[in-house]
């Protein structure tokens, strides 16, 4: 089937009218049981047509799946493909990651953004080794107890590593439910979407296929129609990175990873980079505050007059 024909099918779905109901005193939209059966059939059909043979789908190793789910948080698939393989070459097992110094872990993560994900992934590996016998837990509550693992990441690990049913609500999944069941609605709450995701999730043995279908259909929708997930109440617009607080923290962390440095050296380097970009220079006090933030979160430590990477 051609992309053009697929686009016609996707657009046609938006003509279906969902059922209106009341929940917590607010007008919301809900799907009937009959509608959900048709919805599941359609999603599986579209998923089969649009399937993406991504490298992390060819493993059931819970650690490898956990790495992929963490990397895919707020990062495009195209950026993760290649980096996921390289990460597993450098840290092939949970034990290897848990025992690695923090510096090489953060260095390997550079360019992926949100360095806290790498820190949390290492801390999670340490917890799994020390408290779970080196085996990624299968239980949802045990998974969300790990650093950096929220409900969606836990559900992804359970679905893709263990084929266990769970409520996996992420942006592509959200896009499909909104496009198919709530074509005209605005500010649809995640509480309602989570209920529907739970109702449509199959029993163990078919969970991977179901969520792959949702992910691939959702990715297609976001390329071909106005992004349906923007109509979710939970939708937020990501702030620009350049010139942001995040960008300054990331710059300082990279510099400390390169070599231990004093506050004054780091302030001079960061201010120079900011001025070159047409922004205002920072004082040593401003940079000190950023460094203390990084220290509090476990990225770096102060060693006499120098800042260096934490262990």
- Active site positions, annotated: 69
**Residue 223: HSE in the Cβ half-sphere, 13 Å Cα cutoff:** 12
CA distances from 215 to 50, 63, 197, 219, 281 (A): 10, 21, 13, 6, 43
What is d(CA 88, CA 269) in angstroms, rounded to the nearest whole number?
33
Number of neighbours of residue 176 by Cβ within 10 angstroms: 28
Three-state DSSP string of the chain: CCHHHHHHHHHHHCCCCCEEEEECCEEEEECCHHHHHHHHHHHHHHHHHHCCCCHHHHCCCHHHHHHHHHHCCCCCHHHHCCHHHHHHHHCCCHHHHHHCCHHHHHHHHCCCCCCHHHHHHHHHHHHHHHHCCCCCCCCHHHHHCCCCCCHHHHHHHHHHHHCCCCCCCCHHHHHHHHHHHCCCCCCECHHHHHHHHHHHCCCCCCHHHHHHHHHHHHHHHHHHCCCHHHHECCCCCCCCCCCCHHHHHHHHHHHHHHCCECHHHHHHHHHHHHHHCCCCCCCHHHHHHHHHHHHHCCCEEEECCEEEECC
Number of neighbours of residue 121 by Cβ within 10 angstroms: 24
CA-nearest of 4, 2, 11, 5 to 221 is 11
């Amino acid at each position: 089937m051609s992309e053009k024909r697929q686009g016609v099918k996707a657009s046609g779905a938006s003509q279906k009218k969902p059922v209106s109901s009341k929940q917590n005193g607010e007008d919301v939209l809900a799907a009937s049981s009959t509608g959900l059966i048709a919805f599941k059939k359609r999603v599986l059909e579209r998923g089969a047509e649009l399937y993406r043979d991504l490298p992390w789908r060819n493993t059931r190793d819970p650690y490898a799946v956990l790495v992929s789910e963490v990397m895919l948080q707020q990062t495009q698939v195209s950026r993760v493909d290649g980096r996921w393989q390289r990460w597993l070459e450098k840290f092939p097992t949970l034990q290897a990651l848990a025992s690695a110094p923090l510096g090489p872990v953060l260095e390997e993560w550079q360019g992926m953004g949100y360095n806290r994900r790498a820190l949390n992934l290492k801390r999670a590996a340490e917890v799994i080794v020390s408290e779970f016998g080196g085996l990624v837990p299968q239980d949802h509550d045990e998974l969300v107890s790990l650093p950096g693992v929220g409900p969606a990441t836990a559900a992804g690990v359970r679905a893709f590593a263990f084929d266990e049913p769970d409520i996996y609500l992420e942006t592509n999944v959200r896009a499909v439910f909104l496009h198919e069941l709530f074509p005209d609605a605005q500010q649809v709450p995640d509480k309602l979407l989570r209920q529907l995701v739970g109702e449509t999730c199959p029993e163990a043995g078919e969970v991977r296929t179901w969520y792959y279908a949702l992910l691939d259909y959702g990715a297609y929708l976001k390329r071909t129609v106005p992004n349906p997930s923007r109509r979710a109440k939970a939708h937020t617009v990501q702030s620009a990175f350049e010139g942001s607080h995040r960008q300054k923290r990331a710059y300082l962390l990279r510099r400390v990873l390169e070599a231990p440095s004093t506050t004054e050296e780091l302030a001079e380097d960061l201010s120079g980079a900011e001025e070159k970009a047409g922004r205002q220079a920072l004082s040593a006090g401003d940079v000190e505050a950023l460094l203390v933030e990084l220290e509090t979160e476990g990225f770096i430590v102060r060693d006499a007059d120098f800042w260096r990477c934490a262990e």
